[in-house]
Amino acid sequence: MEEKFTFEAGMEELEGLVARMESGDMKLDESFDAYRRGVVLYRALKKMLDEGDAKIRALTETGEVDLTKEVGGE
C-alpha cells in the first residue's frame, strides 16, 4: 500500500536532497537525478501551499473565520 504524500515528508526529502547535493559527494548523473526530483518536490509542495492559501482566503472572505481576533481572546 502506497503512503499518502504529505507536506512534511516532501520537505524532509527535499532537504535531504539539498544536503546531499551541497556535500559534493554525488556523481554528476546522481546530481542531475536529484535536481530533477527536487524540482518535482518543489512543485508539489508549492501546489500544496497555494491550495492551503486559497482555502484560508476563501474562509476569511466569506466571513467564516475572523483572523483579526485572537484565539480565546477578548
Rounded to whole angstroms, how far apart are CA atoms 14 and 38? 6
Q: What is the pLDDT of residues 1-13, one digit of tens each?
A: 567 899 999 999 9
**What are the cell numbers at 52?**
492551503
Rounded to whole angstroms, how far apart are CA atoms 25 and 56? 42
Q: At 44, is the pLDDT very low, low, confident or very high (cuts 50, 70, 90)? A: very high
Rounded to whole angstroms, how far apart are CA atoms 35 and 28? 10
Amino acid at 42: Y
Asked if residue 26 lies in contact with residue 20, where contact means CB atoms within 8 angstroms, the answer is yes
Question: What is the average per-residue pLDDT within 53-66?
Answer: 80
> Does 60 score more than 50 pLDDT?
yes
Q: What is the pLDDT of residues 14-31, one digit of tens each?
A: 999 999 999 999 999 999
Q: At 66, is the pLDDT very low, low, confident or very high (cuts 50, 70, 90)? A: low
